Structure 1
Amino acid sequence: MEQFEDPPAEDDGTNDVGELKQFVLAHTRGQRVTDHEDVLARIRTDAEGDGSWAAEWTRSARALERDGRLLDACRHYTMARFPFVDGPARQRALDDTVRTFDQWRRGDRDIERLEVDLPTGRVVAWATGMSDGVRRPVLIVSGGIVTVKEQWASTLRAIRRLGMAGIVTEMPGVGENTLPYDRDSWRMLSHLLDHVSDRADVADSYALALSFSGHLALRCALEDSRIRAVLTAGAPIDTLFTDRRWQATLPRITVDTLAHLMGKEAGSALGELPSWALSPDQLRALTIPVRYVACDRDEIIPGTDVDLLARHVRDIEILRHDDVHGAPAHAAETQLWLIRSLLRVRRVKAPVHLVIDLLYRLARRRAAAAG
């Protein structure tokens, strides 16, 4: 893992720079963010001005945009916003993330913007595979509490190659999603399916929902039979929501982000979580395939949650990594395993299945060789 200098003691920014550099790696590697080591090496503070998190990522993004590299610029603006909008600099970064993505996607007529207005706020998504009148199976894609929908740009095109329609979105409180994050947030996924039901085969829907959105997808699948499988990584199930001792060990960035999305103070937000946990009875009630990527050294999701899934979910497969949350050292392997799992639960026999299976095996060997 890359090593970066610790931030100076006088740093009085919102976030701990050391934590920012640590937890952003899963995103920079998973998205193949260019030159991320150089940018991170320049960052000394999360306050303002030169050497600050938002300023250095934004400086790099603007240079990429001037060179016409819109998607790379979008990815760097995304990093400037990470982990959540806490002031003008990160708000500008979010606005620039959406703007550059919108410019990039205009070269692809099949990527469209969805806006779903609900009583408590608006859900925004990018969609593909719905513009030609063919009703395709749906793949809903969402990341965790720090992931905006624009990070899934390359996934949109991949979904089309799989013969599916795709919706990439973000969790309540993240990016442009103005819904509050609460125990009923899972309903958002059903509302998205309702919104496209006249243009896609929503009765044959699948959720690729990572981290905290995986929890939403599992909860939604208990009520919405249109979701035929959930593929996830590092999703909380029980202990994170209910165990105060485990909560006391959570990284500050996780607690602060959760509190922000919930609209609560950090000290009180965790106290509202116990009712969000999925019980053994609920897990046993899941009749769909669940595919889960677990990390043995996960700082956020305890192994007890993975054990609960293994004991109670009827159709469960688990890929385990010797890694930290987000599996930054196993990004390619994780991505390919999830795609392969999707093809398997859909029983796809096309040549693409053989290609993905081969690529997965190669990625697994490379990860093993790297130690």
Structure 2
Amino acid sequence: MNDLSELKRFVVAHAISQNLPADHYASLLERITSDTGDEPGSWPYEWIRAGEEAEAAGETLAACQYHNMGRFPFVDGPGRKRALARCVETFERWRREQPGIEPVTVEVGGLPVTVWATGLSAREPRPLLVMTGGIVSPKEQWAPVLPQIAAFGMAGVVADLPGVGESPLRYGPDSWELFPAILDALAGRAKVSETYLLALSFSGHLAITAALRDRRIRGLVGNGTPIHDFFTDTAWQARVPRITRDTLAHLAGVPPDAVFAHIRPWALDDRSLRDLEIPFAAVTATEDEIIPPGDTERLRRSVRDLRLIEHPDVHGAPSHLAETRVWSLLAIQRMRPDADPRVTAALTAALEAARAGRGR
């Protein structure tokens, strides 16, 4: 069972990222009095009800995101299972109305994994951008960005971090193998030798690990990436929000009180970071309650080509969402040797406008 007050606090950042109206989800959160179950007043029921209202109003994508919040942070019972099913179902309806978004099945460790893709072509393969969310956000939360990726002249894929959403995989030390598996599956329909990864939160750690082993990956963008101290600093781990600890434990398949010992060997040391030969654009937050400041310092001293933006914000920098989105996409463009200069110029102007809107 989740701590309800903590759950409500953390879900707001995700609601903001999906542009859900604050006046709506604020009143919705007030109605929720129970984390468990699937009846009026419970977490899944109230979010699903809001999704059904959005569906009735013809707002299919908004409905998908309300249902997504209903399975947050992970499926732990029938209510959240129903919410995830509705999330995937409504996203499927929305994507059928969009040109070019398709499901692709990728085999990872002998298991079939579904990803959402766009811009694939055997006749004219494009450079590839693979996007992954963190431990609490499924692919349906981020897949609406796919049309924008296609507009940049790239093929795009959005995938679940192992164990999240529909993913049948266990989150473990070999989870980085998801990325090479995607590239193998798309070879011939995308220019996988020119692949870039946009990996949010914990998936950024997997992206770095994959890049150290697969030279088809030509650049990385991360946001709130755990590197070393998150995995090893016991004093910091005692401060980590319970929702993060419990979600990690669920994905890894270990008890919550054993999860930090379980993941300790996953830490990336300075030598590994120095071996990273490609650019890494990192979004960090000075008030991050999940990722310790020592991990940012480790990036500064060890990554050869680090492109860093630091916000006075909490994990994921939700109060700087517009700027972070544009900065991340621009970072990808600046890594690409064949990027369209018109796209780069447009993103540069959009970044300046986002910063001006914040008074920067």
- TM-score, structure 1 normalization: 0.93
Q: 2:34 matched to 1:45? A: yes
Aligned residues: 356
Report how far residue 42 of structure 1 moved. 2.3
The 5 A counterparts of 1:198-213 are 198-213=188-203
Asked if the contact 1:295/1:322 (under 8 Å) is kept, the reply is yes
After the TM superposition, which of the residue ranges 40-49 and 146-155 deviates more from structure 2? 40-49
Quote the offset at 1:41 in angstroms.
2.9
| Separation of aligned partners in 1, 2:256 and 2:319 | 30
Q: Once structures 1 and 2 are overlaid, which stretch shifts more, 87-96 or 122-131?
A: 122-131
Q: Does 1:106 align with 2:93?
A: no
The 3 A distance-change label for structure 1 pair 38 and 131 is farther
**Equivalences for residues 144-159 of structure 1 within 5 A:** 144-159=134-149
Alignment check: 8 A CA contact 1:129 1:160 kept:
yes
Q: Determine if the alignment matches structure 1 residue 196 to structure 2 residue 186.
A: yes
Residue 27 (structure 1) aligned with residue 14 (structure 2): yes
CA distance in 2, matches of 1:122, 1:358: 41
Find the aligned partners of 2:221 and 2:36 in 1 and give their Cα distance.
37
- Kindly report which structure 2 residues correspond to 1:297-312, keeping only aligned pairs within 5 A, or say none: 297-312=287-302
Whether the aligned pair in 2 keeps the contact of 1:123 and 1:188 (CA below 8 Å) is no
Counterpart contact for 1:39–1:57, Cα < 8 Å: yes
Please give the residue correspondences for 1:1-371 in structure 2 after superposition, counting only pairs within 5 Å: 14-34=1-21, 35-48=24-37, 49-119=39-109, 121-131=111-121, 133-347=123-337, 348-368=339-359
Q: Find the residue that maps to 1:86 and give its secondary structure.
A: coil
Cα drift, residue 303 of structure 1: 0.8
What residue identity is the alignment partner of 1:183? P
Native 8 Å contact 2:170 2:252 kept in 1: yes
Counterpart amino acid of 1:355?
A
Q: Give percent identity, aligned residues only.
A: 45
- Segments of structure 2 that go 5 or more residues without pairing to the other structure are none
Match in the other structure for 1:9: none
Q: 1:257-294 CA deviation, whole Å, 9 max, x = no partner?
A: 00000011101121111210111010000010000000
State the Cα deviation string for residues 239-274 of structure 1 (Å, max 9, x = none): 111111111111000000000000111011211112
Checking the alignment, whether the CA contact within 8 Å between 2:51 and 2:67 is kept in structure 1 is: yes
* SS of aligned partner of 1:176: coil
Structure 1 vs Structure 2 CA RMSD: 1.3
Which whole-Å deviations, capped at 9, do the CAs of 1:296-355 have from their partners, x for residues lacking one? 010100110010001000000110010001111111111111011111111424322222
Amino acid at match of 1:44: T
Bigger shift: residues 136-145 or 41-50: 41-50
Give the whole-Å Cα distance in 1 for the aligned partners of 2:12 and 2:354: 18
Q: Distance in 2 between matches of 1:153 and 1:119?
A: 24
Q: Is the 8 A contact 1:120 1:180 kept in 2?
A: no
Secondary structure of 1:160 counterpart: helix
Distance in 2, Cα, partners of 1:212 & 1:120? 23
The whole-number CA distance in structure 1 between the counterparts of 2:112 and 2:245 is: 24
Separation in 2, partners of 1:158, 1:196: 19
Contact 1:30 / 1:332 at 8 angstroms: preserved in 2?
Answer: no
**1:145-164 CA distances to partner (integer Å, 9 max, x unpaired)?**
00100012321111011100
Code of the residue aligned with 2:13 in structure 1: it is A
Q: Shift of the alpha carbon at 1:357?
A: 1.0
Matched residues in 1 for 2:32 and 2:272: separation?
45
**In structure 2, distance between residues paired with 1:192 and 1:135:** 15
2:121–2:190 Cα contact (<8 Å) kept: no
Conservation of the 8 A alpha-carbon contact between 1:55 and 1:80? yes
Deviations 1:201-251, CA, capped at 9 Å, x for gaps = 000000000100000000000000011001010010001111111111110
Matched residue SS, 2:219:
strand
> Contact 1:26 / 1:331 at 8 angstroms: preserved in 2?
no
